[in-house]
Amino acid sequence: MSMDEERLADEVSRLYWETDASVGEIAAELDISRRALYAALRPLPAGERCAACGGELVFMTRSARAEGAAECVACGREQNVAPAGTAADEHEAAGSAAAREAEAEDVAAVEGYGAALGMVRNQRRGVLLVAAALAGVAVGVIGAMRVLRR
C-alpha cells in the first residue's frame, strides 16, 4: 500500500469511526466515491477474540458496532459482543432505523457494483456476438450472390 493510500485509509477510517457523518458526507469531503471509501475503510477492532478460533473480532460497520455484531477476521464467524463506542456510537444507536438502513444500502450498492459491471460486460459481449453473426451472414450472402452470378 502506497503512502497516499495509507493516509487515505487513515483519514477514511478516522472520519467513519470517530464521527457520525454519513458515508455520503465523508465521501464528498474527501472527494472520493462511496466504493473507494469502503475499499479504504479499515474494520474497527472489537477488543475481543473469536470463541471458535481465537482470531481477532472486528466491527465492519458502525451499525454492527452499535449492535455489538462483531466478525472474526480469521474464520469469518459472527459473534455478539458488548456494543462498543464513542459519543458518535451513542448517537448512531439512538438514531433512526433509516440511518442504519441507508448504511446497509450503501454497503449493498458497493457489493453489487461488481455484479453490475459483470452484467454490462455480458451485455456488450451479446452485442458483439450479434454483430459478428450479422457480419457472417452478410459475407455469406455476398459470397452466394457472386457464385450465382457466374
Give me the domain span that covers residue 76. Answer: 43-86
Is residue 113 included in any domain, yes or no?
Answer: yes
| Mean pLDDT rounded to a whole number for the chain | 80
Same domain? For 75 and 108 the reply is no
Is residue 109 included in any domain, yes or no?
Answer: yes
- Looking at residue 106, its pLDDT comes to 63
Same domain? For 38 and 48 the reply is no
- Give ∠ CA 63-73-33 in degrees, rounded to 5: 55
Q: Are 79 and 106 in contact (CB under 8 A)?
A: no
> pLDDT digits over 67-110, tens only?
999 999 999 999 998 876 544 445 555 555 556 666 666 655 55
Same domain? For 70 and 102 the reply is no
Q: Give bridge partners of residue 70 from the DSSP assignment.
A: 79
Is residue 31 included in any domain, yes or no?
Answer: yes
Report the number of distinct structural domains present in the chain.
3
Same domain? For 106 and 59 the reply is no
Is residue 91 included in any domain, yes or no?
Answer: no
Q: Is the pTM of this model over 0.85?
A: no
- Looking at residue 87, its pLDDT comes to 42
